[in-house]
Structures are given as structure tokens and as C-alpha cells.
Amino acid sequence: MFISLLPTIVTLYFFSSTAVHASPCVAFDVQWNLLAFGLDGKDWNAGPQNTWANGTVADITASGRPPFDGTNTTCFLSQYANAIYVTNGDKSSPSSIHIYDAAAKSWSKQTVTTGSFDPGSFNAILDHDTNVFYALSHGELFHLDMGLLKAANSSALQWVDVEKAPYSSDYEPVMALAQNHVFFLNVPGVPAGSADIYVIHYNYFQPEAQAFPTSNGVIPATHGQTASFFQNQGVQEAFAFIPDDCSATYVLNVETNTTQSLAGPSTKDAGATYFAGLTSLVQLDSTGVVSYLPFNPNDTSANAAATWNKVVSLANVAPPTNTTSTSTTSPPKVSVTGTSRAKATSSGNSNNAIAVVAPTGIIGGLVSAAMLACAAMLF
């Protein structure tokens, strides 16, 4: 019991004393290697999907990277440029977009002027064909043309206010990209199971919502996360929607306008983020654990039987709640969930346990009776 309390105590320590949460993010490069940025303070290349169970991971931490200390840090793949664009990777420079050239393995920092755009509160997609970001922020639609940049341009880029979206300004955007269209889910007034659509090439909000029925019902109207499945060539044709309660994974196909209902993530975490490649949907939970659901665009019965698995190779090099090696400016983003406690305590690797227990001085010196009481209440 006491052992199982320790991770919670460490969590509370970081939460209450520094209130700094590192924000890692995951993405793929165009060879479909899984990249994890800012995980335990480093960046990693976990290689292709068939190596995640037992392969090796390369440390790709390089100079010029953002500190991954922002809020809502998000990674986007520009497939034509084979570059990863990172928004909110550096809290001291929230409007900048950091660019990782996946071929050159180098970083640069793009200056972006915001105008009326609020980099602290937005949701965005990166259009496949035009390499333009479309973002919804406080009810306003913005775009940002990234050219075909794989390294920062010396001239600033600019967020451009396109128009007011036909949604109330308190709509918390749930948006996804497929087939040069932006799909908005959970729009107030739109029936459950239907999406509103913005047609990128015509700058046009389609007035009619589009239904995406499942075989036995509809997608719930609720907030959640999305990730578009890439193809080797051409635009995305399907995207995943994961409701905040992680009760299921829905894959919406925008060619057939139908939805497959697949297994929900094993780790139920409303703070998790997602990235899809060709044949997998990857979850990064808020403790830094990376898991995936295999997906085959041509095989619905395989998808229905698919289960979530951990990316073991990443967990080996960057275990969750590895607080010893991480500086106080970027502790792992951790939360007091059953999962984080279970992960930290059930590991057979005694090094992991030591990593968690190590700050005995911290525990002895800083954990007050009040915090212990608080930690106990969480059980």
C-alpha cells in the first residue's frame, strides 16, 4: 500500500510545487517510423510498427528542439515535406512553430505572427494537399500557409482570419481532416452521429451535416480526440474519433460515409492524444505511456478483433514517471489515474521502482500531512 502511494506522492509534488507539465507528442515520418518527442526529456525514433513489441529505439534528441513544456503541444506530419510541425512546443514562445526535418533530423523555429489568432486556445488540422493549417479558435476560422517548409523561413508566416465559423463561440472544437474536408464533430444542434463539413478548396461550410452511421447505431455526441489515417500517397480517407471516456474507437470513412466501432483504448484518459499512421492508431496518455491499435483499411473484421498494445520498446527507454533523470523544468506529464499507479508499481524492473522512489529527500522534506491525506483520499 505504501509502495503504491509513492508515485502519487511524487505526482503531487511536481503538480503542486512546479505546476509545470511537459507535453510530449507523437507523430510518424513518411516511412511510418513512430517518433516520440519530449518523452522523458528526449526525442525518440521507435521505428516501424513491426518493431514496437521488441525492437530498439533510437535517441534522436538534437539541438534546436523545443523544450516540450507548452500546453496542448501538438505534432503534425507534413507528408510532402517529411517534416513534423510542432505547435505550442515552447511555452516561452507560444506563437512559434518548431519544424523537425525528419530526413535531416534537424530542428528549426518558424516565427509566426498571430494577429487576432490566440495560440493559447485553438484546435487545428494540417491540410494534406495544400500544407495549410486550418484552425478554429474562439469560434473564428483561421489559416496558416506553411508553404512546403521543412526548415524555418527567415520571413515570418502569418495566421490569417478567414471567417467566423457558423458555430457558437463556446463550441469546443472536435475536428478532423479527410479528403480535403474538415469534419467537425459534437457541434451543438447537429444530431448525434453526424458531422459538419468545411470544404477546404472552396472555403465553404457545407450547410447540411453528413451522417456517419455505425452498423448498429450512431457515434455519441460528445467531446473527444481525432486522428486521420494517412495513405502512402494521396489524401486521408478515414479518421479515428475517440470520445473522452475512451469507451470505443470510431473510424469514420469519408468515402462510404460509414463508421466502424473498434476497441476503446485500454488506458481511459481524457488527456491522451492520438496520431494515426497507415496501419495503426497511436495513443500517448498523460503519463507518457504510448499504446497502439492496429488498423487495416481493407479488413473490417481484423479491425473489429484488434486490441490495444503498448509500444514496449518506447516504454523500455522512456518509462512513465521516470522522475530521476528528468529535470524539474520538464517532468513527465503525469496524472493521478489508476493506470499511472499500476504502471509504476507493477513493473518487474526494479530500476523503475527505484526511479520512482529515488527522491526520498523530497518525500521526507516536502510531503506534508495534508498532502498525504490528500493522496490517501485519492484511493
Ligand X SMILES: *[C@@H]1O[C@H](CO)[C@@H](O)[C@H](O)[C@H]1NC(C)=O
Judged by the rule CB under 6 A, the positions of this chain that interact with ligand X are 40-42, 50, 53-54, 71-72, 121-123, 147, 149, 153-155, 157, 197, 210, 256-257, 279, 296-298, 318-319, 322, 325, 351-352, 355
d(CA 248, CA 231): 23
CB 369 → ligand X: shortest distance, Å? 29
Whether 144 and 132 have beta carbons less than 8 Å apart is answered as: yes
Q: Which grid coordinates belong to 234? A: 494521396
CA nearest 282: which of 311, 250, 248?
311
Q: Which is nearer to ligand X, 121 or 368 (CB)?
A: 121
CB 339 → ligand X: shortest distance, Å? 18
CB 299 → ligand X: shortest distance, Å? 7
CB 252 → ligand X: shortest distance, Å? 10
Q: Which is nearer to ligand X, 4 or 153 (CB)?
A: 153
* Cell 509566426 -> residue: 112
* Helix, strand counts (H, E) of the chain: 7, 26
**How many whole angstroms from its chain centre is CA 39?**
12
**How many whole angstroms from its chain centre is CA 342?**
22
CB 338 → ligand X: shortest distance, Å? 20
Sign (positive or negative) of CA dihedral 29, 275, 226, 92: negative
CB 368 → ligand X: shortest distance, Å? 26
User: What is Dmax (Cα atoms) for the chain?
Assistant: 62
Q: Which is nearer to ligand X, 81 or 102 (CB)?
A: 81
Whether 171 and 187 have beta carbons less than 8 Å apart is answered as: yes
Q: Which is nearer to ligand X, 169 or 325 (CB)?
A: 325
Q: Which is nearer to ligand X, 108 or 372 (CB)?
A: 108
Residues near 175 by beta carbon (within 8 Å), at least 6 away in sequence? 123, 124, 125, 136, 182, 183, 184, 185, 226
Q: Which is nearer to ligand X, 42 or 65 (CB)?
A: 42
